[in-house]
Amino acid sequence: MNQDKLKVGVIGVGHLGEYHVQKYKAMSNVNLVGVVDNEPDRADEIARRYDVKAYDGHEKILEKVDAVSLAVPTEMHFEVAKDILSKGIHLLIEKPITYELDPADTMVNMAKEKGLVFQVGLVERFNPAVVKMESLLDRPVFIESHRMNEFTIRGIDVDVVLDLMIHDLDVILHNVQSEVKEVHAVGMSVITGKTDIANARIVFEDGTMANLTASRVSSKTLRKIRVFQPNAYISVNCLKRKISIIGLNVEVKDLNDFPQLTPDTIEFPDRDPLADEIASFVNAVINGSEPVVSGDDGRKVLQVALGIIGQIERGSRSFQAI
């Protein structure tokens, strides 16, 4: 029976990697061959929990799979991904693609040369509220995003731009059909020694402007994207998978002869963006199609993110307690 299924492995089964294991196990067209982690006890724990085999090195699992999810720390992405791609194995790599552009280019080119699916795990692109927003966009003038987290030790191997802001940056770069003209950024370290709070203002060649704020030292969790365009104001709550639209209806006038504003709210409470992301990867491998979030997309958002980080490093100050 399993001969007709896509053989998949998960390399790196920490907090996020375990979710990949869950999603693959629930898919009828996938045979989850096994898991790998640099902490053998963790690999054994996940293997027992999900009734799969644990491997003590990624080289061993590569002999048995068609595709893998890579969810190791970012500093290990390049070395492990090179091994995966050189073996002709399709790859879903968690964000960010790498720390630097040269290794990102190497991976993207390796995948293209071998005809492999190379998808980057920017999961917000699969949020149904974001997908709906994309279908409603028409000449956006201003886009604003806020992404706030309470502090945890997860993700602190990178700064907040590559940890959190990168999701909104990817959504914006994907939807604004124009090149970046200017970037203005500020930020500071609060706890980690890396940037923990950041704000970036992006001006595009076509005049569209975007303002992005990210913090991982907030008192609450917030995930919102707002779009202002000539015919509507669109507000997306990514956390609740809900979109609100206030549209301009020029067909109906009020008593003062002004067009009516028509509100509408759509919710997607039962959708699972990570499950949709992984299903999209599997389908791209099976069908030989381009992934929704390609290696080129991952490289593009990294380039702009590194520009933001560079500006912050040149001008930021560390937080000073009162």
**Segment 189-219, tens digit of pLDDT:** 999 989 999 999 999 999 999 999 999 999 9
**Statement: residue 1 has pLDDT above 50:** no
Q: Tens digits of per-residue pLDDT, 39-81?
A: 999 999 999 999 999 998 999 999 999 999 999 999 999 999 9
Alpha-carbon span 105 to 58, nearest angstrom: 22
Beta strands in 176-283 (DSSP E): 180-188, 197-204, 209-215, 222-229, 232-237, 242-253, 259-267
What pLDDT is stored for residue 56 in this prediction?
A: 86
Domains in the chain, start-ordered, CATH in brackets?
Answer: 2-121+274-293 (3.40.50.720), 125-272+303-315 (3.30.360.10)
Strand segments (E) across 77-153: 90-94, 118-121, 142-148
> Quick one: CA dihedral 138, 139, 141, 147, positive or negative?
positive
Q: Could you read off the pLDDT of 297-310 as tens digits, one per residue? A: 999 999 999 999 99
The DSSP bridge pattern shows strands 259-267 and 242-253 to be antiparallel
What DSSP designation does 258 have? P
When pLDDT is averaged across residues 5-15 and rounded to a whole number, the result is 97
Sheet (strand 242-253) strand order = 180-188, 197-204, 209-215, 142-148, 222-229, 232-237, 242-253, 259-267
Determine whether 16 is exposed, middle or buried from the number of CB atoms within 10 Å of its CB (0-12, 13-18, 19+): middle
pLDDT, residue 254, reads 73
Binning the chain into helix, strand and coil, the percentages to the nearest 5 are: 40, 30, 35
What is the pLDDT of the chain when averaged over all its residues? 93
Out of 159-168, 240-249, 255-264, pick the least confident: 255-264
Of 150, 197, 172, 114, nearest to 304 (Cα)?
172
pLDDT at 264 (0 to 100): 94
Residue pair 100/93 in contact (Cβ under 8 Å)? The answer is no
Query: Is the predicted pLDDT of residue 153 greater than 70, yes or no?
Result: yes
Model pLDDT, residue 316: 57
Between 259 and 162, name the one with better pLDDT. Answer: 162
Whether the per-residue pLDDT at 322 is higher than 60: the answer is: no
> Could you give the CA distance from residue 215 to residue 160 in angstroms, rounded to a whole number?
7
Name the residue among 161, 70, 166, 127 with its Cα closest to residue 268: 127
> Which of these ranges, 125-129, 147-151, 157-161, 277-281, has the smallest mean pLDDT?
157-161
What integer pLDDT is reported at residue 251 of this predicted model? Answer: 73
Lowest mean pLDDT among 106-120, 181-195, 273-287: 181-195
Per the CB < 8 A criterion, the answer to whether 300 and 95 are in contact is no
What is the residue whose two structure tokens read 């370290």? Answer: 189
* pLDDT level of residue 317 (50, 70, 90 thresholds): low
Q: What is the mean pLDDT of residues 87-109?
A: 97
pLDDT value, residue 248: 80
- pTM (whole model) above 0.95: no
Q: Which residues pair with 6 in a beta bridge?
A: 30
pLDDT of 31 reads: 97
| Per-residue tokens: 238 | 């990514």
Q: Identify the pLDDT of residue 252.
A: 73
**What DSSP letter does each residue of 280-319 carry, written as one string?**
HHHHHHHHT---SSBHHHHHHHHHHHHHHHHHHHHH----
* 71-98 average pLDDT score: 97
Contacts (Cβ under 8 Å, ≥6 apart) of 87: 62
Backbone angles phi, psi at 296, to 5 degrees: -60, -40
Express as a percent the part of the chain with pLDDT over 90: 87
